[in-house]
Structure 1
Amino acid sequence: MVTPTTPTPPAPDAAPQRAASRRDVGVALACGVFVGLMVGAAYAAVPLYDWFCRVTGFGGTTQVAAAAPHAILDRRITVRFDANIARGLPWRFEPEQTKVEVKLGEVVTIYYAVTNLAARETTGTASYNVAPTTTGAYFSKIECFCFTEQVFKPGERREMAVVFFVDPKLAADADQDDLDTITLSYTFYPTRTPATARASGS
């Protein structure tokens, strides 16, 4: 009696396996590139947004000017000054005058007084904007303490200047015809302390 034999199945073709493997590698690479692009976009978003705000005045972001404008107009604007301290920064911060009346194009210098109330050295950085926010494109600063980090010794008091002007171009903006007051507002936030910086080796 002859015992029937089971036919041996043919060996699987290696070509489809290689193709599938290549597809997997391609998908993994594409995912890696996508993640890398997203991470890069996240890091770029902040400086790009900051640049956009500075150029357009969006959100009340003020402008930076190197020199005074070439014209001074008779139209006057009242500029009010606001000062705030974020939690965690032991400072007293206030404008030496609460408001000033300026002509469009006139360069004005005002001062804020800051006192470190702590018995240790402290460091702060100021954020700023103007209201109404639509005036950010016309409010230019030539000099400001907000451009740099401020370090105060224990108990130190300092007068810090802001040199600014309201651009005469504002007069050509019909949306600003009824504008008579701009508020310049600052908020100081705590940053790294010098002791922390030394400990970290920076």
Structure 2
Amino acid sequence: MATAPEASLSARNKRTGFYMLGFALAMLGLGYASVPLYDLFCRVTGFAGTTQRATDDEASLAERIAASGATRDITIRFDTNVAPDLSWSFRPEHPTDRIAIGSRDQAIFLAKNDGTEPVVGTASFNVYPNEAGKYFSKVQCFCFTEQRLEPGQEVRMPVVYFVDPAIFDDPLVEDLDSITLSYTFHKKKDAAS
């Protein structure tokens, strides 16, 4: 039979074991949740130049807000890159665009498979300066889906976007005169071509 000190020690050991098990399960859950939580954080704050995704209704609202008050133009620069393992050429139809803040606009990007096999690519993106990310909204973008190109195939890919008039209320970027939208196409690793 266990003595009182031994029983007390055994109860404390069990309690500590349950705390450690709970802690380990919480860390496991946090590990699984970290990617979606980080993605949510970036989308909400524009951290690291993450752009926003907007609906047609949100774009229309931004246009109405811009039309009701003073607005100004801003230059949008387009930067394109291709990962070394992807045999594509990729460029904007026009390297820059000048738009009114709050107005919806469209840019066209051209991609061509210069290789001899079908390839699926995905685009990553960001804007510079990073602080402008939470005001740069895309309504439609090729970056939302995978792109499969046959050998020699060239496609025109539109991006419909706007710069939110709320940018005027942020002292970090209220006087910004240009934003760079940058894309990099990567070969989809697990794609069956």
TM-based fold match above 0.5: yes
Per-residue CA deviations over 1:161-184 (Å, capped at 9, x if unaligned) read 100011122223333343111100
1:106 to 92, 103, 106: 103
In angstroms, what is the RMSD of aligned CA positions? 2.1
Q: 1:138 aligns with which of 116, 119, 135?
A: 135
Which residue identity does 2:97 align to in structure 1?
V
Structure 2 counterparts to residues 100-179 of structure 1, below 5 A: 100-179=97-176
The two structures have a TM-score, normalised by structure 2, of 0.85
Worse overlay, 82-91 or 136-145: 82-91
Alignment of 1:1-202 (within 5 A): 13=2, 16-67=5-56, 68=59, 69=62, 70=64, 71-72=66-67, 73-195=70-192
Point out where structure 1 has 5 or more consecutive residues left out of the alignment: 1-11, 197-202
User: In structure 2, what residue type is equivalent to 1:49?
Assistant: Y
Question: Which residues of structure 2 form unaligned runs of 5+?
Answer: none
What amino acid is the match of 1:96? E
Q: Secondary structure at the match of 2:116?
A: coil
Q: CA deviation at 1:155?
A: 2.6
In 2, are the aligned partners of 1:91 and 1:117 still within 8 Å (CA)? yes
Once residues 102 and 121 of structure 1 are traced to their aligned partners in structure 2, the CA distance between those partners, rounded to angstroms, is 36
Q: Aligned pair count?
A: 185
Question: Rg larger in 1 or in 2?
Answer: 1
- What is the deviation of 1:76? 0.6
Alignment check: 8 A CA contact 1:122 1:193 kept: no
Render the CA deviation track for 1:15-45: whole Å, top value 9, x for unaligned. Answer: 6555544443433332222112111111111
Q: What is the percent sequence identity of the aligned residues?
A: 45
CA drift at 1:60: 1.3
Contact 1:74/1:104, CA 8 A, preserved across alignment: yes
Runs of 4+ with deviation above 6 angstroms? none
CA–CA distance in 2 between the matches of 1:92 and 1:125?
Answer: 14
8 Å CA contact 1:123, 1:193 repeated in 2: no
Relative to 1, partners in 2 of residues 1:155 and 1:129: Cα closer, same or farther, differing over 3 Å? same
